[in-house]
């Protein structure tokens, strides 16, 4: 059985946003994730989460994030329950909170929540028992903290000097929780420059993404960038009438080889998935040598293991009355 660190230098109970995460805590989570990633290659086995029950509570579609959390919890020896809440008790009119209370009464420890409702993860966190935790797996268009952390790990593996990086996020920024969490995490790690590139109708409000440079033209935003992060167009968050035409979007904002040549020659290309090939990105770029898209998926598993370990350790300390702040970290 592989060993896990026991120090509780960075207690973390709920993880709902990266906005106020201390840099030391973020770095500790990323460092542990990198170690777990390397150990995973040799099929290391853990029992860190033995006795813990993790509930995937997804009320928006999710394949990769749900699978990633499930495998992360199982590889640490935890129990996992997957619930598609949009298809069960919610249809009978039960509130999300009542579903949580029901599962809590069955001794669930960690709720992984994906929701289209702004504020729902915080509302659940405010109501659960003191030895129960909530981790956001994507909240409407505002936050996706585990994605933000896996994106930072993916950048750090190839471009560790954040202070000298130009990161360019391209596409549907206005509806993207991935972009929001990336911006919070990049600020936390002291990124040199953040650029956002989008058509005017997909630009976020003027007061969002403080400090980012805004561009409407790909050629301007991509110039000499070290990291190019593409995004899925979030059709589910748009009125039918305002959905961009995929061909027009591709012509102006799709990342193809020619455009990628405007970035730094060693630039890396990212996408959170699921990708719409031929719209946001071409297959040549997505599967090409500069792409880290599949590595992002592997990193996602390691980051979620790192977070689950830390959250479970915090809950155990709360249970045993150790001297830590029960609302510690991350929220
Ligand atoms: C992202 C999400 O759901 O926010 N995907 C993911 O977590 N795998 C991005 C997206 O759906 O566009």
Express each pLDDT in 96-149 by its tens digit.
Answer: 999 999 999 999 999 999 999 999 999 999 999 999 999 999 999 999 999 999
Tokens 């960690």: give the residue: 110
For residue 178, the ligand 1 atom closest to its alpha carbon is: 4
Q: How far is CA 73 from the centre of its chain?
A: 16
Q: With beta carbons less than 8 A apart as the criterion, state whether 7 and 280 touch.
A: no
**Which residues are paired to 194 by β-bridges?**
167
Tokens 């542990």: give the residue: 32
- Cα of 274 vs centre of ligand 1, distance in Å, is 7
Read off the pLDDT band of 91 (50, 70, 90): low
User: What is the SS3 assignment for 181?
Assistant: helix
User: What is the SS3 assignment for 190?
Assistant: coil
- Cα of 72 vs centre of ligand 1, distance in Å, is 18
Q: With beta carbons less than 8 A apart as the criterion, state whether 205 and 173 touch.
A: no
Q: Is a pLDDT exceeding 50 seen at residue 331? A: no
Which pLDDT score is estimated for 42? 85
Please work out whether the CB of residue 65 comes within 6 Å of at least one atom of ligand 1: yes
Please work out whether the CB of residue 114 comes within 6 Å of at least one atom of ligand 1: no
Please work out whether the CB of residue 104 comes within 6 Å of at least one atom of ligand 1: no
- Cα of 43 vs centre of ligand 1, distance in Å, is 27
Please work out whether the CB of residue 64 comes within 6 Å of at least one atom of ligand 1: yes
Burial of 69 (0-12, 13-18, 19+ CB in 10 A): buried
| Pocket mutation for ligand 1, best pick of 172, 174, 236, 274 (most atoms within 8 Å of C-beta) | 274
54-88 pLDDT, tens digit each: 999 998 888 999 999 999 999 999 999 999 887 66
| Pocket mutation for ligand 1, best pick of 72, 138, 145, 146 (most atoms within 8 Å of C-beta) | 138
Please work out whether the CB of residue 66 comes within 6 Å of at least one atom of ligand 1: no
**Helix (H) / strand (E) containing 317:** helix 293-319
Which pLDDT score is estimated for 269? 98
> φ and ψ at 112, to 5 degrees?
-100, 115
Q: Is a pLDDT exceeding 60 seen at residue 329? A: no
Which pLDDT score is estimated for 92? 62
Rounded to whole angstroms, the Cα distance separating 16 from 216 reads: 31
155-206 pLDDT, tens digit each: 999 999 999 999 999 999 999 999 999 999 999 999 999 999 999 999 999 9
Please work out whether the CB of residue 232 comes within 6 Å of at least one atom of ligand 1: yes
Rounded to whole angstroms, the Cα distance separating 227 from 229 reads: 6
Angle 314-317-321 (CA atoms, 0-180°, nearest 5)?
Answer: 140
Read off the pLDDT band of 330 (50, 70, 90): very low
- Cα of 272 vs centre of ligand 1, distance in Å, is 6
- Cα of 316 vs centre of ligand 1, distance in Å, is 31
| Choice between 240 and 263, residue whose per-residue pLDDT is larger | 263
For residue 61, the ligand 1 atom closest to its alpha carbon is: 3
Tokens of 140: 């409407």
Please work out whether the CB of residue 156 comes within 6 Å of at least one atom of ligand 1: no
CA distances to 232, 287, 291, 301, 315 from 257, rounded to whole Å, are 18, 11, 11, 29, 48
Tokens 């599962």: give the residue: 103
């Amino acid at each position: 059985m592989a060993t896990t660190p026991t120090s509780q230098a960075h207690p973390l109970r709920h993880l709902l946003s990266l906005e106020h995460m201390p840099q030391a805590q973020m770095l500790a989570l990323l460092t542990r994730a990198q170690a777990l990633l390397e150990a995973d290659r040799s099929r290391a086995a853990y029992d860190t989460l033995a006795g813990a029950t993790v509930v995937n509570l997804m009320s928006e579609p999710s394949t990769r994030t749900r699978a990633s959390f499930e495998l992360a919890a199982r590889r640490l020896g935890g129990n996992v329950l997957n619930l598609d809440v949009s298809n069960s008790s919610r249809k009978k009119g039960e509130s999300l909170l009542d579903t949580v209370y029901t599962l809590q009464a069955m001794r669930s420890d960690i709720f992984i929540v994906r929701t289209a409702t702004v504020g729902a993860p915080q509302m659940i966190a405010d109501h659960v028992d003191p030895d129960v935790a909530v981790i956001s797996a994507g909240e409407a268009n505002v936050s996706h903290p585990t994605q933000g952390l896996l994106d930072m790990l993916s950048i750090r593996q190839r471009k560790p000097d954040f202070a000298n990086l130009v990161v360019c996020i391209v596409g549907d920024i206005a509806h993207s929780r991935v972009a929001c969490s990336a911006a919070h995490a990049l600020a936390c790690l002291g990124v040199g420059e953040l650029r956002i590139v989008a058509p005017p109708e997909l630009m976020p409000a003027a007061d969002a993404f403080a400090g980012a440079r805004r561009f409407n033209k790909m050629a301007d935003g991509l110039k000499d960038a070290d990291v190019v992060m593409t995004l899925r167009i979030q059709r589910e968050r748009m009125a039918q009438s305002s959905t961009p035409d995929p061909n027009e979007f591709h012509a102006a904002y799709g990342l193809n080889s020619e455009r990628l040549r405007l970035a730094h020659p060693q630039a890396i290309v990212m996408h959170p998935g699921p990708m719409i090939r031929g719209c946001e990105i071409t297959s040549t770029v997505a599967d090409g040598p500069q792409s880290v898209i599949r590595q992002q998926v592997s990193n996602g598993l390691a980051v979620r293991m790192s977070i689950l370990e830390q959250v479970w350790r915090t809950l155990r300390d709360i249970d045993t009355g150790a001297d830590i702040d029960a609302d510690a970290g991350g929220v």
